[in-house]
Amino acid sequence: MPPGLKGRLKSATQVGLEAFWSAGFAALGRLRPTRPRLWASPGGVRALVVAPHPDDEVAGCAGTLRRHRLAGDAVTVAVVTDGRRSRAGGLAPDEMSLVRRREAEAVAARLDFELRWLGFPEGEWRGEALGASLAAALEGASPAIVYAPSAVDFHPEHAAVARSLAFALPEASPLRVRIYPVQVPLTSVLANLLSPVGALVPTVVEAMAAYVSQSGSLQRCLRARRYAGARHALGEPAEEFWEMSAAEYRRLHGALEAVASPFRGLRYLALTDPLAYGAGRRERRRLRERAHGSGA
């Protein structure tokens, strides 16, 4: 089969599969309606995004960050690690670190946010040092909202950063924490806040394209936004969040243990996408109970 034809067939298969799954999510939405709150900024808000790796902020909440800026909000993105362990392109770790920092700077310019590059070597940092840096980032940004990674993930570093952030959050803080998904969907079990981003899809795509070294892993995050829109009957793509108080986030992640993750992320091919929504369903419910103080 000619390479060009093979590529077109693969693309057509992906489109067909996504349309099929989207129809299924839409049917489920009609059968079991969801009631998450629709978000819109009142303006004058300060937001901080904690991204374990350069590109996580785009994977989970690029459209929402742009909505913040369009409303006149101040947005700071703290990128925790330098992403040096990515094997994309066969680059050496130091070279990959430089590439990913340049990509993060390009995204910051496109989405118009302040980039705070913490730059810890990926996989080589200690919680105490990161906790101090995150506390400084919180003090510097003075946010009312923190967009955060969580235990709803299969990547151990995402969960580890979440744990460090939990300890960095002031105990009596009034700020709100919004957990964002990276490749593991929150699903209707946890999502309680939606940010419609249909008009901003081109902006999201452009931001993703700036992370050239990570393009293969980011495309599936666009499918997640379309599935969310279908599942919640919005009629447009949306970004899902699990919003909670700082105290709930601390309770959820403060005693987090390094165990094998039951979650599954969306894969490059759309064939198995529903599995990412079914795997770990019981654990999502357990985490929801723990956040509200009814489990442990």
Per the CB < 8 A criterion, the answer to whether 51 and 182 are in contact is no
Show me where the domains of the chain are located: 42-289
Q: Evaluate if residue 264 carries a pLDDT over 50.
A: yes
Q: Which residues contact 205 (CB under 8 A, 6 or more apart)?
A: 222
The topology (CATH level 3) of 42-289 is Rossmann fold (3.40.50)
Mean pLDDT for the chain overall: 94
Per the CB < 8 A criterion, the answer to whether 165 and 246 are in contact is no
User: Could you report the per-residue pLDDT of 233-258, keeping only the tens digit for each?
Assistant: 999 999 999 999 999 999 999 877 76
Residues 37-56 as b or e (16 or more Cβ within 10 Å = b): eebebeeeebbbbbbbbbbb
CA atoms within 13 A on the CB side of 15: 6
pLDDT for residue 212: 94
Rounded average pLDDT over 102-113: 98
Q: Evaluate if residue 231 carries a pLDDT over 50.
A: yes
Rounded average pLDDT over 6-11: 80
pLDDT for residue 8: 81
- The model's pTM is 0.95
Rounded average pLDDT over 285-289: 95
Q: How far apart are CA 204 and CA 146, in angstroms?
A: 20
Q: How far apart are CA 105 and CA 107, in angstroms?
A: 5
Q: Which two tokens stand for residue 106?
A: 């390009």
User: Could you report the per-residue pLDDT of 209-218, keeping only the tens digit for each?
Assistant: 999 999 878 9
How many helices (H) and strands (E) the chain has is answered by 11, 8
pLDDT for residue 260: 77
